[in-house]
Every structure is written in structure tokens, then in C-alpha cells.
Amino acid sequence: MRTRFPVLASDPSSYASHIVEPGPDIPGNARPSLVRALRRSVEGMDHRSEVREFLSTRRGRITPDQAGLPAFGGNRRVPGLRREEVALLAGVSVDYYTRLERGDLSGASESVLDALARALQLDEAEAAHLFDLAHTANASPAARRPRKKADAVRPSIQRLLDAMTEAAAVLRNNYYDYVAGNALGRALYSPVFTEADPNSARFAFLNPAAQEFYPDWDRNTQELVATMRGEAGRNPYDKRLSDLVGELSTRSERFRTLWAAHNVRYHRSGVKRLRHPVVGELELTYEAFELPADPGMTLSTYTAEPNTPSADALKMLASWAATNAATNEQREPLRGANAAAEVGADGSGEIAAE
């Protein structure tokens, strides 16, 4: 049974301010984990802090020159824009923007949020995250419940996966568990699927093999956390998701650092480089599709450019997976035969005692 982790504050500097008790040992290191942190549950999550840190970090990355503003004075105390400069760009008063950045998005209109997104030069994912934060600030108590998620993989989805024979395909939920895949997808991510509960986030941050498997581990982990940050914004009352964030924050300094950056991105398409233990280096194009009929489920496919070393490696991997599947099928009759040999000679169906 997996240990439950409470939500952690997004600012790593605040960790020491919480009382903690030694918890049970957790695989992954040789030290007892501090897992029974007396922290806020997800229902009591400090939403104002989330808003404040997101807006201040976005403001801090834009210079006056990037915003098209004159930089008056040579001694600026902030690396990015001042609050009054953001207010000017957004067309709101300084007092009103100060209220927003202090974490109070209640009552903010769509036009104000749009203006703020333009002033802070937010991309599509960041703007959506801002609107998610505003939605949470204005949500009624009845709306502050976890959104409904698909609990199981429908047979038709598994058939769809199995019908893909030239592309690797895996299905994950919004807790980053791999819940299904076709034969090639399981072979491609075999280092992850060998774990008892395959989870891409835990593998990336808690398994030392991840840095070998992902040649671009630094970039991959940045993108992963930015995707998780967006997921947390869309589902702020999901305790299971906050437990995952809490677990990774407790056990991975890398995760804590990235989580505190408040970066947000979509994971829709791109190029993934893998160093597979069987076929070596692969450079694959991935596409991610959300399944509208299965809330929380995302289907990811991986293909290689034709006539490339990666295409050859992917074919080799498919052959390896097929060979393993055939070997496993041959073992099943042997298991049945061995079990039959242990049945009592009287034909009663009783298994003979060893």
C-alpha cells in the first residue's frame, strides 16, 4: 500500500516552518522519510500563495525593454517589471493590480484577466492557468470538489491501442500512472512498466535509472513539472494529485526546485529522445491526445521518421516485444501441465501435498 502524502507548500523555503514526524521508510533512499508532515490538506491549500507566486514570477521574467517600456533610473530593485508597470500595461490601477498579485483574484473579470495575460506576455498554457486560478478563487463551495475521472480503461480503448502495430502507444491518467499500452508501447517504456505501479513522475524523479533512460533528463523533468503544475491548477481539490506533489517534493530536491518556479506548459507534441536498454538511442515524435469520453486520460503515441536509425530501432524493438510475448505464451501451457502433474492420482482434483 502506497504511503499517503499531504500537500506541500509551493515555496521550498517554507518547508522548515512545518513540524514533521519521522515516517516509515520508503524505497529510494537509505534514510527514514519525513512523510508525516503536518501540512494543509488540499482543501486548505493556500490558494492566495499560488496566485501570488505565479504572478510575481511571471512579472519578474519580463524586462522593461521586452515590454516596450522605457527603463527609468539605473538602479532597479526588481529583476523584471515593477507592479506599477504591469498595471500600466494591463490598464488597471496600481492598487487593483497589487490586490491581484497579493493573491486575491475574486471578482476579476475575463477582460481584466485577458489584459493581465497580455501584459505579462503569457503563452496559451500560462493564460489558461491564470484563468484556472481565477475560477478557483470564484468557485462556490459546491464546486470545490475533485472533478470526476475515468476509473478504468474501457475495452474499446484497449482494442484501439492493440490495433496500433507500427506506433508505440501508452495511456496515462492525470496522476501520471501508465494504465495501459500496446505491446510496442510497453516495450518502449519497459524500464517504467517493470515497476509495480508504473508512474512516469515517480520514475523520472525517484528512480536513478531515469537519467540514463532520458538523455534530455533536465529538459524532460522541467516539462513534466510544468505539465503537472497546469494539472494542479485545473484540479486544485484533487487530494490524490496533491499527495503525489507532496511525495515528490519530500523525496526529490530537483522536483522541489522546479515546482517552486511555477512554470506551466502543455504536453501535446514534440520530439522525445530515449536511450533504451535493448535497442539503444531513439529519437521519436510524440503526439498526445486527451480522451473526452474518459476524463483525465491521455493517449500518447510515438513514431519514428521513415528510413532513419530510430525507425530501424523501433522495428527491432517491436520484434523483441513479439518474441517476448511468444515466449510467455509458450510458458503458460507448461504452467498448466506442471499444475496437472501435481493433482492427486485418485483423480479427485485435490492438489498433492508437497
CATH of the domain at 213: 3.30.450.180
Q: What is the number of structural domains in the chain?
A: 2
Distance CA 86, CA 296 (A): 35
Q: Are residues 186 and 127 in the same domain?
A: no
Lowest mean pLDDT among 31-35, 68-72, 327-331: 31-35
The predicted structure's pLDDT at residue 157:
96
The answer to the question of residue 340 being in a domain is no
pTM: 0.77
Within this chain, do residues 139 and 240 fall inside the same structural domain, yes or no? no
What residues have CB less than 8 Å from 276, skipping those under 6 apart?
188, 190, 213, 282, 313, 317
Alpha helices in the chain (DSSP H): 47-60, 64-67, 83-90, 94-101, 110-119, 124-137, 155-163, 183-188, 190-193, 200-206, 210-213, 217-234, 239-251, 253-260, 309-341
For 58-67, 75-84, 145-154, 217-226, which range has the lowest pLDDT when averaged over its residues? 145-154
Assigned domain for 48 exists: yes
- 215 shares its domain with 273: yes
Quick one: cell of 20?
514533521
Count of positions (residues) in the chain: 354
With contact defined as beta carbons under 8 Å apart, do 199 and 174 qualify? no
Last residue of one domain, picked from the residues 94, 119, 143: 143
* 104 and 221 within one domain: no
pLDDT for 146:
58
> Does the pLDDT value for residue 353 go beyond 50?
no
Angstrom distance (rounded) from CA 256 to CA 251: 9
Q: Is 297 in a helix, a strand, or coil? A: coil
CB 228 within 8 A of CB 288: no
Average pLDDT value over all residues in the chain: 82
Is 60 exceeded by the pLDDT of residue 27? no
**Residue 70 confidence (pLDDT):** 85
316 phi/psi in degrees, rounded to 5: -65, -40
112 and 184 share one domain? no
Residue type, position 234, single letter: R
Does 194 have pLDDT greater than 80? yes
The grid coordinates of residue 252 equal 526529490
Distance separating alpha carbons of residues 230 and 24, to the nearest angstrom: 30
Looking at the fold, whether 104 and 162 belong to one and the same domain comes out as no
Q: Is residue 76 located within the same domain as residue 184?
A: no
Tell me the average pLDDT across 37-49: 53
pLDDT the model gives residue 267 = 87
Of the candidates 85, 291, 288, 82, the one whose C-alpha atom is nearest the C-alpha of residue 169 is: 288
Alpha carbons 57 and 37: distance in angstroms, whole number: 27
- Identify the domain containing residue 186 by its residue range: 151-312
Higher pLDDT, 11 or 113: 113
Residues 69 and 195 in one domain: no
Q: Is residue 229 part of a domain?
A: yes
- Residue 176 is predicted with a pLDDT of 96
* Residues 115, 91 contacting (CB under 8 angstroms): yes
Within a domain: 318? no
Least confident piece of the model among 113-117, 129-133, 267-271, 334-338 = 334-338
As a whole-number percent, the residues of the chain with pLDDT over 90 amount to 67
In-domain check, residue 342 = no
pLDDT, mean of residues 234-244: 92
pLDDT at 179: 96
Residue among 252, 235, 226, 249 at smallest CA distance from 173: 235
- Condensed to tens digits (0 to 9), the pLDDT of residues 293-313 reads 999 999 999 999 999 999 999
Tell me what percent of the residues of the chain surpass a pLDDT of 70. 75
Please provide residue 241's backbone torsions phi and psi, each rounded to the nearest 5 degrees.
-70, -45
Average pLDDT over residues 181-209: 96
| CATH number for the domain that contains residue 128 | 1.10.260.40
**Start-to-end CA span in the chain (Å):** 32
